């Protein structure tokens, strides 16, 4: 049985849950079954069918009121509680059955990916369960250091997504920014005083020089941009190597059909 999963991480409001729903819909249109698991104890609304929900194990409100913790302390406690009760997640994931591709919609708090070991322990446990993992971070350029921190802490293949590119008034500027070969000579050769725009050109280009961080633009209206991200993740996970081909007419009884799901 192939078990592949992506951890979708990124700052609060970056678009993690939207990404999970978009990727689920996109994969299902290609007859690839995807499960989305909520690992954010503070989440409230879902636009995707939730295959497993950490709030069933440890609701954040209960942690905060019973232990008199604030939202951040409560979240860290909840993630550590998950690690201590990993059997619960293991059994939920076992129930999904079949060839699995799981998206984990993760909490946004950066400390979980920098100095608190809870998320890297979750990663180790998922690997012990036989999951091939990649992490996928919807972020903007300013998040690059947080992104590097998460990459080194989680030690997983990583695909960095620039979310919300549909909101850009000038997409050409972004494409120039992401074109490292063009940007480096321009930034290095320039004699003009440092400007925010020049800094923007230099930072991602140098990082790409060191093959550390690459960015993929995500425009939810552009199927090609979603395909490109999926292809990068599949490549990192070697997803297609072991997957059994499915009959195009085959339809599993438990194929998800719910398009809109609101827990509130
Ligand atoms: N235009 C546009 N809006 C987006 C995109 N992705 C997310 N949004 C919007 O951004 C807001 C936050 O998106 P979410 O998917 O809830 O972000 P999140 O990272 O899951 O947020 P938290 O779980 O609170 O950390 C919502 O209003 C989304 O509709 C995108 O690619 N384009
Ligand atoms: Mg979310």
| DSSP states along 122-191 | HHHHHHHTT-EEEEEEE--GGGHHHHHHHHHHH-S-EEEEE--GGG-S-HHHHHHHH-HHHHHHHHHH--
Answer whether 120's CB lies under 8 Å from 153's CB. yes
In the predicted model, is pLDDT for residue 264 greater than 50? no
Task: Evaluate: CB of 232 within 6 angstroms of ligand 1.
Answer: no
Neighbours of ion ligand 2 (CB under 5 A): 16-17
Q: Which overall architecture, per CATH, does domain 3-164+218-242 show?
A: 3-Layer(aba) Sandwich (3.40)
To test ligand 1's pocket by mutation, which of 10, 18, 22, 72 has the most ligand atoms within 8 angstroms of CB?
A: 18
Mean pLDDT of the chain: 80
Separation of alpha carbons 158 and 176, rounded Å: 22
pLDDT digits (tens, 9 = 90+) for 170-190: 777 777 767 655 444 444 444
Could you state, in order of their start, the residue ranges of all structural domains in the chain?
3-164+218-242, 167-212
Phi, psi of 53 (to 5 degrees): -135, 120
Instruction: State how beta strands 50-53 and 35-38 pair.
Output: parallel
Edge-to-edge, what's the strand order for the sheet holding 3-8? Answer: 50-53, 35-38, 100-105, 3-8, 132-138, 158-162, 215-217
The residue whose C-alpha atom lies closest to atom 14 belonging to ligand 1 is 15
**pTM of this prediction?**
0.78
| Distance between Cα 18 and ligand 1 center (Å) | 5
**pLDDT at res. 102:** 96
ipTM of the complex: 0.97
Higher-pLDDT residue of 54 and 200 is 54
Q: Which residues have CB under 8 Å from 229's CB, separation 6+?
A: 23, 136, 159, 161, 216, 218
The residue whose C-alpha atom lies closest to atom 6 belonging to ligand 1 is 15
Separation of alpha carbons 17 and 9, rounded Å: 10
Q: Which residues of 94-104 are buried (b: 16+ CB within 10 A; e: fewer)?
A: eebeebbbbbb
**pLDDT at res. 259:** 47
Share of the chain above pLDDT 90, in %: 43
Q: How confident is the model at residue 145 (pLDDT cuts 50, 70, 90)?
A: low
**pLDDT at res. 18:** 95
In the predicted model, is pLDDT for residue 229 greater than 80? yes
In the predicted model, is pLDDT for residue 238 greater than 90? no
Task: Evaluate: CB of 12 within 6 angstroms of ligand 1.
Answer: yes
Task: Evaluate: CB of 1 within 6 angstroms of ligand 1.
Answer: no
To test ligand 1's pocket by mutation, which of 8, 10, 17 has the most ligand atoms within 8 angstroms of CB?
A: 17
The residue whose C-alpha atom lies closest to atom 29 belonging to ligand 1 is 18
Mean local confidence (pLDDT), 245-255? 58
Q: Is 254 helix (H, G, I), strand (E, B) or coil?
A: coil
Separation of alpha carbons 141 and 208, rounded Å: 12
């Amino acid at each position: 049985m192939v078990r592949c999963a992506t951890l979708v991480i990124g700052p609060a409001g970056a678009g993690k849950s939207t990404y999970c729903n978009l990727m689920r819909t996109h994969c299902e249109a290609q007859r690839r079954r995807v499960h989305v698991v909520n690992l954010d104890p503070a989440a409230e609304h879902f636009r995707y069918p939730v295959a497993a929900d950490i709030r069933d194990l440890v609701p954040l409100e209960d942690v905060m009121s019973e232990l008199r913790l604030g939202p951040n302390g409560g979240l860290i406690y909840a993630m550590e509680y998950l690690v201590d009760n990993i059997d619960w997640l293991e059994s939920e994931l076992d129930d999904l059955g079949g060839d699995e591709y799981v998206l984990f919609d993760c909490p946004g708090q950066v400390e979980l990916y920098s100095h608190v070991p809870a998320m890297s322990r979750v990663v180790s446990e998922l690997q012990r369960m036989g999951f091939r993992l990649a992490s996928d971070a919807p972020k903007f350029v300013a998040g690059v250091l947080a992104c590097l921190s998460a990459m080194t802490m989680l030690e997983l293949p990583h695909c960095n997504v620039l979310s919300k590119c549909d909101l850009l008034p000038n997409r050409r500027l972004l494409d120039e920014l992401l074109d490292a070969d063009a940007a480096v000579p321009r930034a290095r050769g320039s004699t003009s005083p440092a400007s925010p725009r020049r800094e923007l050109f230099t930072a991602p280009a140098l990082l790409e020089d060191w093959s550390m961080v690459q960015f993929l633009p995500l425009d939810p209206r552009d199927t090609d941009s979603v395909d490109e991200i999926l292809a990068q993740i599949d490549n990192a996970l070697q997803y297609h190597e072991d997957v059994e081909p499915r009959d195009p007419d085959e339809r599993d009884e438990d194929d998800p059909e719910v398009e809109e799901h609101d827990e509130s």
